[in-house]
Structure 1
Amino acid sequence: MLVDVVMPKMGESIQEGKILRWMKKPGDKVELDETILEISTDKVDSEIPSPAAGFLSKIVVPEGETVEVGTIIAAIETSAQSLRIAPLPQRTPAAAEKGAEAALAQPSDTSERDALLEKSPRREGNRFYSPLVRSIAGKEGVSTGELERLEGSGLGGRVTKKDLEEYLKTRSARTNAPVPSIQPADLKEVQRKYPAPGYEVVQMDNLQQKMAEHMVRSVRTSPHVEAISECDFTKVADFRARQAERFEHQEGFKLTFMPFLVEATIRALKAYPIINSSVEGDKIVLKKSINFGIAVAAPTGLIVPVIKQADERSFLGIARAIHDLAERTRAKRLLPDEIQGGTFTLTNFGVFGNIIGTPIINQPQVAILGVGAIKKRPVVLTDVDGNDSIGIRSIGYLTLAFDHRIIDGALGGQFLAKIVANLEQYDFSRVF
């Protein structure tokens, strides 16, 4: 019996996915829940397990192609006796795809399966087009480039029959207009498009493109202001050193500075709730729950998994969530929903030895906390009588980048000072 492998719906907002790599080839044996491919969405890369045990009979969608959620991308034969191995498909600009309706039908006959694939919407360029739209475009000589430039009125920006007919009317009118003279391009401008000898041009992958778009949008949206404070982590560092063995024996992982930082920041967010908000037009949207994002350096780039309702968790609950999300981020086991809905973000560039950084706000949030390396330094200590002395303390720098549209310097400074106070006067009775 053939079992279809479909592009999974990895989250409510995810509509399509890109095939990054097939781990198996047609004819290979697969086990139930064994990873058979890697996909990429606009949120995260994920490994996809096999829905059945058997043999990979057919790969419908090759590596590098993007298809809609629900599209059949492969088939698994659960019976070795009836195994039919199909050749690997070749990557083309418009790969054969099938919609979610066909996936639900799950036809077992190969010819029926191929027929359904031919009727499905296909990707040409960077968008999907229905068979009707493609048929009209073909008859009227509308190129893929022209289709790409059309503003679709359908679901998700799809180009409809009406959109194409309206375009054909305006194109016909433009055909009779005088053709402007074409000026020769500036040779220097043309030359700048090509790298000099010794340079290599590398195409961004899907996640890099999304990250670039997100960062540029943030800088354009929010007027960034940064405030930096010094924090004495000595009490936290000493407690961590004393309790490291006990904690690791109890929890199975090491006690780091991160849960202290997150818990101290959560208490500051409760004291200054406007920091836990977003801006929509001329309105400020206050978030009742604190969904805390933590930047994690993964093999594919920086990912920000989110601890949902972090304000309702204990210290141990926060520590366990941080460890779990970090481990699954690096193993590509995150679901897209686990990197959405954040209301505040913390990024720890101190793990790379950096002392100070100026992070970019994770939209649509209004602030982000950056943590530098915590190092022992000589500092001036003043006792109760006003006498000064030199002491060795564990010092780190905290950077708060905030949206100046709704957070002024006074509020940003007060919030950052609250985090510092929470850390320097930490109540360790909350740990165990």
Structure 2
Amino acid sequence: MVQMVDIIVPEGEQQGTAHVLANWLKMPGESVTINAPLVDIETDKVMVEVAAPASGILKDIFKKPGDNVTPGTLLGRIELTGSGDKTAITDQVEPVSNPIDSDSQTDTPDHALLSPAVRRLVKQHPVDLNRIEGTGKRGRVTKQDILNYLKQTPTSPAETVQRATAIETKGKEETRQSTSSTHIPHDNMRRRIAAHMTESLLHTAPHVTSIFEADLSAITRHRKQNKAHFEQHGTHLTFTAYFVYAAVQALQRVPQINSRFHEESLELFSDMNIGVGTALNDKGLIVPVLHQAQNKNLLGIASELQQLAEKARRGKLSPAEIQGGTFTLSNHGVSGSLVATPIIINQPQSAILGIGKMQKRVIVKEIDGVDTIQIRPMAYITLTIDHRALDAYQTNRFLTRFVEVIEEWK
């Protein structure tokens, strides 16, 4: 008879805080080991790993990354393998020998969560935490508990006392050396950005970047001629509006760029929902989305960009205004960057467009068959792709069309 074991969010997690499932470390069908990290849960303050309550096969996943969860939520199920021996099952709130990799400093039952200092000591000096009586709240093992244990261990007492004393001395020295520094706690947005970017670059998509350059003379001239007209409509005409419009034209030429990679297929989107990276000063970056940009003219794009940017800086964006993007544009040149490679892809999209700083440069232009030296406003244009989904052929076709639209603007 098949025996299943539930995977739940530990009841010891703080009530009243936001919990989001950040990442599964295993996928259905893969083997899992009792007490091994299995799923990441993100709260308002920390990232917590939930350990596997049993050894077996991950059978079902009921919550996906991004889903809100609460203590006691059923996340999935493990199918016991072999004889289904009861010793392969552990209560998630019982002490475990393997420390869970968590930065949590909250009160937790027994040894389910350990502080970074304790984790470092355990890695340096492997000990069985079940042999240590924790003096922290609810029996939690502290750094001092481990130091005391090392001093009192009967095997090689002189060596262990010397080792524990050295650790204490080193810790005090590190504390003295760090007194002149300042720690700025990460807010939830910064934690999410860090996790999302790491997942995209290191675990999901092989990134490849191509670099073109574009002469911005035509759009600079057009903007100067039409800026006042747009102001009459209450809209500030930015260069980003031109870039979004040109991106739409390029996506129409190369629809594979506006896509999402699946193991069995490449999903092409008919709507061009273009996210535009918007800096929030020291608070990070948010990407509001212009939905169905293919149906908007330059005025419509400029007007919506202005509205989204204003709402983003006031923290008033609705969930719908930051969801559903199929392609992203990062105009990093507004802060002075000439080129950025690779710009990390906003998963699950297949590509991200980067626009560098406009800079007057000396270039060679052929006019009436004669090479001439010109001073033109130039910018580097990059496209970073998910190489699972796209190749150089689609990448260069997209960038070629994008540059054509910008340079031939009428």
Same fold (TM over 0.5): yes
The question of 1:331 aligning with 2:254 is answered: no
For residues 49 and 367 of structure 2, what CA distance do their matches in structure 1 show? 74
For residues 388 and 328 of structure 2, what CA distance do their matches in structure 1 show? 18
Partner of 2:352: 368
Partner of 2:251: 269
Q: Counterparts in 2 of 1:402-417, with a 5 A limit?
A: 402-417=385-400
Aligned-residue offset at 1:408: 1.3
Partner of 1:105: none
For residues 173 and 379 of structure 1, what CA distance do their matches in structure 2 show? 66
Aligned-residue offset at 1:280: 2.3
- Alignment: residue pair count: 289
Q: Is the 8 A contact 2:53 2:90 kept in 1?
A: no
Aligned-residue offset at 1:337: 1.9
For residues 311 and 398 of structure 1, what CA distance do their matches in structure 2 show? 21
Q: Secondary structure at the match of 2:378?
A: strand
Deviates more, 1:291-300 or 1:193-202: 193-202
Q: Is the 8 A contact 2:241 2:302 kept in 1?
A: yes
Partner of 1:159: 72
The question of 1:289 aligning with 2:289 is answered: no
Q: Secondary structure at the match of 2:90?
A: helix
For residues 380 and 172 of structure 1, what CA distance do their matches in structure 2 show? 71
Partner of 2:111: none
Q: Counterparts in 2 of 1:11-410, with a 5 A limit?
A: 66=17, 149=51, 156=69, 158-159=71-72, 167-168=90-91, 187=167, 191=171, 196-220=178-202, 221-249=204-232, 251-299=233-281, 300-358=283-341, 359-385=343-369, 387-410=370-393
Give the 3 Å change call, closer, same or farther, for CA 283–378 of structure 1 in structure 2: same
Partner of 2:401: 418
Partner of 1:36: none
Q: Is the 8 A contact 1:293 1:342 kept in 2?
A: yes
Residue 286 of structure 2 aligns with an amino acid whose one-letter code is I
Aligned-residue offset at 1:283: 2.4
Give the 3 Å change call, closer, same or farther, for CA 151–190 of structure 1 in structure 2: farther
Partner of 1:119: none
Give the 3 Å change call, closer, same or farther, for CA 126–215 of structure 1 in structure 2: closer
Deviates more, 1:165-174 or 1:307-316: 165-174
Partner of 1:72: none
Residue 270 of structure 1 aligns with an amino acid whose one-letter code is Q
For residues 178 and 294 of structure 1, what CA distance do their matches in structure 2 show? 51
Q: Is the 8 A contact 1:154 1:160 kept in 2?
A: no
For residues 346 and 305 of structure 1, what CA distance do their matches in structure 2 show? 10
Give the 3 Å change call, closer, same or farther, for CA 281–240 of structure 1 in structure 2: same
Give the 3 Å change call, closer, same or farther, for CA 209–147 of structure 1 in structure 2: closer
TM-align CA RMSD = 3.9
Q: Secondary structure at the match of 1:410?
A: helix
For residues 354 and 265 of structure 2, what CA distance do their matches in structure 1 show? 27
Aligned-residue offset at 1:393: 1.2
Aligned-residue offset at 1:310: 1.1
Give the 3 Å change call, closer, same or farther, for CA 151–266 of structure 1 in structure 2: farther
Aligned-residue offset at 1:172: 9.6
Deviation track 1:268-304 (CA, whole Å, cap 9, x = no partner) reads 1111111111112332211121110000112432110
Q: Is the 8 A contact 1:306 1:341 kept in 2?
A: yes
For residues 204 and 173 of structure 1, what CA distance do their matches in structure 2 show? 29
Give the 3 Å change call, closer, same or farther, for CA 190–380 of structure 1 in structure 2: same
Q: Secondary structure at the match of 2:302?
A: helix
Percent of pairs identical after alignment? 34
Deviates more, 1:308-317 or 1:266-275: 308-317
TM-score, structure 2 normalization? 0.61
In the alignment, structure 2 segments of 5+ residues that lack a partner are: 1-14, 21-40, 55-60, 64-68, 78-85, 98-128, 133-148, 151-159
